[in-house]
Amino acid sequence: MASDAREQVHGDHGKYITVNALSRRIRDLHDGYKPLVNRPTGDLTAVAMEELKQNKLHVRLTPAVEDDTAQAANAKTESK
């Protein structure tokens, strides 16, 4: 899951954005949204992770997040 899922989001903040997206999806599943994968388990975390692993979930960044990520990448490059 790690590399494929994190490749969906750009920049150094990818793991944090991925965790946030998973958290939101788990809440959605808890609220009654239908799972996007067939998984015979009541573990909503496992379901959400499997959805991400199978590329059923996609993370979209808002322009503000994209700008922040780009600025952080530029700052990191300039400091080298």
Domains plus CATH for the chain?
A: 2-78 (3.90.940)
The predicted model scores a pTM of 0.62
**Neighbour count for residue 60 (Cβ, 10 Å):** 9
Q: Report phi then psi at 39, rounded to 5.
A: -145, 115
More confident residue, 49 or 65: 49
Q: In this structure, how many other beta carbons lie within 10 angstroms of the beta carbon of residue 75?
A: 9
Question: pLDDT tier at 1 (50, 70, 90 boundaries)?
Answer: very low
Instruction: Tell me the per-residue pLDDT of 24-51, one tens digit each, with 9 for 90 and over.
Output: 999 999 999 999 998 777 899 999 999 9
Q: Tens of pLDDT along 5-30? A: 545 555 667 788 888 999 999 999 99
Q: Of 77 and 14, which is predicted with more confidence?
A: 14
